[in-house]
Amino acid sequence: MPQQVRGVVAHKKGEPVSLETVIVPDPGPGEAVVKVQACGVCHTDLHYREGGINDEFPFLLGHEAAGVVETVGEGVTDVAPGDFVILNWRAVDGTCRACRRGEPWYCFSTHNAAQKMTLESGQELSPALGIGAFIEKTLVHAGQCTKVNPEVKPEVAGLLGCGVMAGIGAAINTGKVGRGDSIAVIGCGGVGNAAIAGARLAGASTIIAIDVDDRKLTWAKEFGATHTINSRAQDVVEGVQALTDGNGANVVVEAVGRPETYKQAFYARDLAGTVVLVGVPTPDMMVELPLIDVFGRGGSLKSSWYGDCLPSRDFPMLVDLHLQGRLPLEKFVSETIGLDDVEAAFEKMHKGEVLRSVVVL
């Protein structure tokens, strides 16, 4: 029978969210109902509320989540009731052209639950990133459930579902940071600090954190930054070059998503170095670079989609590293809150007061 649960809904662009009764149907073929235990408050959810993703209101917000599978639909074999899972928004289909050429992390045919969750009125909800996890129970495609070690705490495990994975993957999967490399990270919020943590895991020797906020730079040191630059007080390109024998960094991760910081990233890298854009720009933003510099500096200009992760490979590995004490996921959790505190968490995030507020159910 369909279930009535509480969920956080954005009804109109720019308006405060509200806690509503949501109808969750029984899972159909290939679907699962997950009892959500924790969900991080990600900037993408605020983008949805502000109409920055699309205008398919009302939205059921939340996507950075972990929980326990309650029921599964026909044909589901990879997960079963009782499994502890992290939800992902890239359910790999295995048959698209990216998957066929051996690059499933680029899967072009990811899928969500076929059925819709609704309000009591019957109005269909658009789940954020196909998940919708600021809710007691959510309906997803079973491929969006990645089974991991249940010893990990839900409030840290869920962070791998989006922001932390995006940052770690930007450094390791997309940027290919390796032992002895230098890396600069522009923007030290949750994603940027995750890139720093990933670079430390990968053995980078010089890890430069760049931000306008000294508080965030202090956080960055806790995740492994060896040097910091406050870009209000120091030129970013000159600062990075000074810390890399005048050359620039092997990899520069841009975790802001703005033209001016992208240009800084472009010129702060070494010749034949790599720029990784993981910050999400708005549709109106444009960047202008001399084409001769694009050619003459060589290297790679890359975008990182979800940290170019493969959830089935990366989530269990990163959970194990955390349980071994090698990946301090707990440092990303600034506070734990309830479902009715999401709007206040948006305000704290907007002001840069937190790395992550995490809803615990």
Q: 69 vs 91, which has greater pLDDT? A: 69
Signed CA dihedral, 270, 103, 139, 58: sign only = positive
Closest CA to 68 of 25, 31, 27, 34: 34
- pLDDT attached to residue 85: 98
Q: Report, in this order, helix, strand and coil percent for the chain, each rounded to 5.
A: 35, 25, 40
Q: What's the whole-number mean pLDDT along residues 264-279? A: 98
Per residue in 99-148, pLDDT (tens digit) is: 999 999 999 998 899 999 999 999 999 999 999 999 999 999 999 999 99
* Chain mean pLDDT for the chain: 96
- pLDDT attached to residue 332: 97
Q: What's the whole-number mean pLDDT along residues 86-95? A: 92
Structural domains in the chain?
3-161+328-360 (3.90.180.10), 167-305 (3.40.50.720)
- pLDDT attached to residue 283: 84
Residue with tokens 């109409």: 51
Per residue in 139-197, pLDDT (tens digit) is: 999 999 999 999 999 999 999 999 999 999 999 999 999 999 999 999 999 999 999 99
| pTM (2 d.p.) | 0.95
Would strands 64-72 and 31-40 be described as parallel, antiparallel, or unpaired? antiparallel
Report in angstroms the alpha-carbon separations of 5 from 66, 82, 85, 117, 214: 17, 19, 20, 11, 41
Per residue in 32-67, pLDDT (tens digit) is: 999 999 999 999 999 999 998 889 999 999 999 999
- pLDDT attached to residue 222: 97
User: Could you give phi then psi for residue 76, rounded to 5 degrees?
Assistant: -85, 125
Alpha carbon distance 84, 2 (integer Å):
22
Burial zone of 154 (CB within 10 Å; 0-12 exposed, 13-18 middle, 19+ buried): buried
Share of the chain above pLDDT 70, in %: 100
Per residue in 232-249, pLDDT (tens digit) is: 999 999 999 999 999 999
Neighbouring C-beta atoms of residue 318, cutoff 10 Å:
28
Share of the chain above pLDDT 90, in %: 94
User: Could you give phi then psi for residue 22, rounded to 5 degrees?
Assistant: -120, 140
- pLDDT attached to residue 282: 83
Q: Which amino acid is at 170?
A: A
